[in-house]
Amino acid sequence: MTTDLSKYDASQLPSADVLGRQRYAIIVADWNSEITYALAQGALDTLVKHGVDEENIEIVHVPGTVELTYGAAKLMRHERWDGIIVIGCVIQGDTPHFDYVCQSVTQGVAMLNARGDSPVIFSVLTVLNKQQALDRAGGRLGNKGVEGAYTAMRMGNL
């Protein structure tokens, strides 16, 4: 069974009045940009669709997926965010590099969330091939960036 990642229950979100006053950050890895930029656009469009003022959304680019944790930590040190969405894409290759990158970003995001300053939403694709990434970046399985934005809005209003 496959699930369209872009389907969610909008009734679980706060009102546009509440969301319009909130601040969100999207940190996007430039590596695999064909995928990550589509995910970032999905996240941005979803936040705006539900009432987040575009002026209250900051988009930050980092070179790769490992750098997402540092980007989120740096943003959290300087300001309070209602949600931070980290977006990356790691495609498995022939070396263990895939495992190290996935483990690094997963542990980094978990550590930031444990601090409790701002929710950091994991919108990182860890896939076996490019087609799986395309399917999740606006393809047949929807857009994981949309799911990340939805999750950020829910977590930002606990």
Binning the chain into helix, strand and coil, the percentages to the nearest 5 are: 50, 20, 30
Helix, strand or coil for residue 150? helix
Could you tell me where the DSSP H helices lie in 90-156?
97-115, 130-135, 144-155
Active site residue 78: no
End-to-end CA distance of the chain: 30
Q: Considering the candidates 50, 61, 78, 97, report the single residue annotated as catalytic.
A: 97
Q: Which two tokens stand for residue 78?
A: 């300087």
Which residues are identified as catalytic? 97
